[in-house]
Amino acid sequence: MSIGERILERLDEMDMTQKQLSKKVNISYSTLNGYIKTTRQPDFETLKNIARELGVSCDYLLDFSYDRNKDVTLEEYKLINDVRKITPNQKELIVEQLKIMKRQNI
């Protein structure tokens, strides 16, 4: 899958437009569209900014992994993104629930 396809897929999942993303990462719409059509390639800083806004890694956008068995799935990235948005007390509760589930082999 190309970087453009991955960006489009994530935009769709987040119900975000290309224009919204381009504004958030401070690039023009036409530049982002070039990345999506794979006629242009982002520089490292822009790639990091796009990945951050989409809640994924640069490796995910580039379809790169040195070990496919250790890839983090898109669902796992979504969970990570969600956890970053909650309060410290909520994080503690989640950690405690995970410990209970592990003890119960769930």
Q: What is the CATH number of the domain that holds 26?
A: 1.10.260.40
Write down the pTM of the prediction.
0.65
Higher pLDDT, 23 or 81: 23
pLDDT, residue 77, reads: 75
Same domain, 57 and 78: no
What is the residue range of 25's domain?
1-66
Same domain, 79 and 35: no
d(CA 19, CA 33) in angstroms, rounded, equals: 9
pLDDT, residue 76, reads: 81
Q: Name the pLDDT band for 69 (thresholds 50, 70, 90).
A: low
Residue whose C-alpha is closest to residue 72's, from 60, 83, 62 = 60
Same domain, 60 and 85: no
The DSSP-derived string for 40-103 is S---HHHHHHHHHHHTS-HHHHHT--S-GGGPPPHHHHHHHHHHTTS-HHHHHHHHHHHHHHHH
Q: How many structural domains are present in the chain?
A: 2
Same domain, 52 and 97: no
